[in-house]
Amino acid sequence: MVDDDPAVRDMLRRSLLRSGFRVATAPSGHEALELAARLMPTAITLDVMMPQMDGWSVLSKLKANPLTRHIPVIMVTIVNEKKAGYALGASEYLVKPIDREYLVDVLEKYRPLNASECTVLIVEDEALTRATIGTILTGKGYQILEAANGEEALELMEKHNPCLILLDLIMPHMDGFAFARKLQTETRWKDIPVIILTSKDLTDEEKGSLEGQVTNILQKQAMAPENLVRQVEQFIAHRLREDK
């Protein structure tokens, strides 16, 4: 929750705590960006009128950061500029004064859903990396499928319907580039979110070839396990809501 007014923060925080939400608060845009990258919250409520860094700047920076761009942002502000908010990537726009019960109802849409409803396909040729990611996600309740290359992954997908794919790029037999292209040729698979996990420093040409085929690209060496899990949880929750 991002608002420079302590009375507003306290009022909304108490309302959300009573409704079973866990709440972190930030009085400024700079603190909000730090908290968002560290906590990877399920959703963010954001005021516009704040000193030093206003809500528009915070929203733009959140959506420009690969770690936070998929976090739903609910604008809660006295500024009635809904078109601007949605253009910058806001998921909801509420104009103050707001009904606290209505805010709770809005945030309910973004609560994490049941992890057991989703199967994650991990496509990675390094067995240790597959096992590490699989163990983390299994511990969170997700169903896991594992493939050592693109060919194995396609065989699994003939029998299973994953709601998210974690994809390495450099693999034998069929690499991640070829696998991503193949997904786009199949109507039944092309809308499955794909997160690239790679240690490769991609060229502009390689990034261009993946554009429109993958949802996000994450560098393995820069991604802490807990942040990876939060990214996965956000994509899965979004996919499950779409399916429902």
pLDDT at 42: 84
12's tokens:
């909304």
Query: CB-based burial of residue 126 (10 Å sphere; 0-12 exposed, 13-18 middle, 19+ buried)?
Result: middle
Categorise residue 50: left if φ over 0, alpha if ψ from -120 to 50, beta otherwise: beta
Specify the CATH class of 115-243 in words.
alpha beta
pLDDT at 136: 82
pLDDT at 110: 79
137 contacts 120 by C-beta, under 8 angstroms: yes
* Element housing 83 (H / E): helix 82-87
What is d(CA 172, CA 81) in angstroms, rounded to the nearest whole number? 51
pLDDT at 239: 62
One digit per residue, pLDDT tens: the chain, 244 residues? 999 999 999 999 999 999 888 899 999 999 999 999 888 888 999 999 999 999 999 999 999 987 788 789 999 999 999 999 999 999 999 999 989 899 999 998 877 666 667 789 999 999 998 998 888 888 878 889 999 999 999 999 999 989 899 999 999 989 999 999 999 898 888 888 888 888 888 888 888 888 877 877 877 766 666 667 777 777 766 665 565 5
pLDDT at 43: 92
Rounding to the nearest 10 degrees, give the CA dihedral for residues 140, 177, 69, 235.
Answer: -30
Phi, psi at 116, each rounded to 5° = -65, -10
Phi, psi at 242, each rounded to 5° = -65, -40
Dihedral of CA 74/57/234/227: which sign? negative
pLDDT at 228: 72
pLDDT at 237: 66
CATH of the domain spanning 6-108, picked from 3.40.50.2300, 3.40.50.740, 3.90.170.10, 3.40.50.300: 3.40.50.2300
130's tokens:
């597959």
83 contacts 66 by C-beta, under 8 angstroms: no
List every span in the chain annotated with CATH 3.40.50.2300: 6-108, 115-243
